[in-house]
């Protein structure tokens, strides 16, 4: 199938996992989701990533995000691997790892890239919103661990910009200034939406700081 694009509906599926059978859309419910794939169990980079995900469980929960991993290995190998992750990373993996031995989910999410490997999934990550729409995709090389600070930052940006008429500039972090969407030009609308005021650098580049809780 063609590659999934931003705004596409995340494909639904039913598959076994380390925490039992999962119907993906039903499991997500009205939460955000992060689905990330691994080429195989007992790999060093992925071990650190799953450990980091477990350590960030409270940060994900605070944002209403569920994490779910995927590997083409079967459930019994996942169970043994989780023991290693917990031991070596000093944490407790509390999210499911899909067992995709039949490659069904990997095919749905276009995770088999023949030029990378004909047998293993590439290391892709999807952020999925409560409407089941794909909002972010990142594909990493096997040698480079994911930056989970960046993943949380993007989720913060998506959740903020979904509820305000703003975008987040380069290197934005929560609490930094944001930019007002260029489509908003009516002075009355600007005054209503941004009573705190804003700085005009160019007609299309206007900075503001959102009020706490706003």
The CATH architecture annotation of domain 164-208 reads: 2-Layer Sandwich (3.30)
Q: Check residue 214 and give its pLDDT.
A: 45
Extents of the domains making up the chain: 14-145, 164-208
Q: SS3 for 116? A: coil
The predicted model gives 137-146 an average pLDDT of 88
Residue 7 — left, alpha, or beta (φ > 0 → left; ψ -120 to 50 → alpha)? Answer: left
Beta carbons of 159 and 77 less than 8 angstroms apart: no
pLDDT of 143 above 90:
no
Fold for 14-145, please state it: Glutaredoxin (3.40.30)
Same fold: 14-145 with 164-208: no
pLDDT digits (tens, 9 = 90+) for 30-49: 999 999 988 788 989 999 99
Q: What is the mean pLDDT of the chain?
A: 91
Tell me whether residue 46 is one of the annotated catalytic residues. yes
CA distances from 12 to 43, 191, 204, 211 (A): 27, 42, 39, 38
- Predicted structure pTM score: 0.90
User: Cα–Cα distance between 46 and 87 in angstroms, integer?
Assistant: 14
Backbone angles phi, psi at 71, to 5 degrees: -145, 150
- The active-site residue, picked from 10, 35, 46, 128, is 46
pLDDT digits (tens, 9 = 90+) for 169-194: 999 999 999 999 999 999 999 999 99
Beta carbons of 65 and 32 less than 8 angstroms apart: yes
pLDDT of 2 above 60:
no
């Amino acid at each position: 199938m063609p590659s999934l694009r931003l705004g596409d509906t995340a494909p639904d599926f039913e598959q076994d996992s380390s925490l039992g059978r999962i119907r993906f859309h039903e499991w997500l419910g009205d939460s955000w989701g992060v689905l990330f794939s691994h080429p195989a169990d007992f790999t060093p980079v992925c071990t650190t990533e799953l450990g980091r995900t477990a350590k960030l469980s409270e940060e994900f929960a605070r944002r209403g995000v569920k994490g779910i991993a995927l590997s083409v290995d079967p459930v019994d190998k996942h169970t043994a691997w989780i023991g290693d992750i917990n031991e070596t990373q000093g944490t407790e993996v509390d999210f499911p790892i899909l067992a995709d031995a039949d490659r069904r989910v990997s095919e749905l999410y276009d995770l088999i890239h023949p030029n990378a490997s004909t047998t293993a999934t590439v290391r892709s990550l999807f952020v999925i919103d409560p409407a089941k729409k794909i909002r972010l995709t990142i594909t990493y090389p096997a040698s480079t661990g994911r930056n989970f600070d960046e993943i949380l930052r993007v989720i913060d940006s998506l959740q903020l910009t979904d509820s305000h008429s703003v975008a987040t500039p380069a290197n934005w972090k929560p609490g930094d200034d944001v930019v007002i969407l260029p489509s908003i030009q009516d002075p009355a609308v600007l005054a209503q939406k941004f009573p705190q005021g804003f700085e005009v650098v160019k007609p299309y580049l206007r900075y503001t700081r959102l009020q706490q809780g706003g």
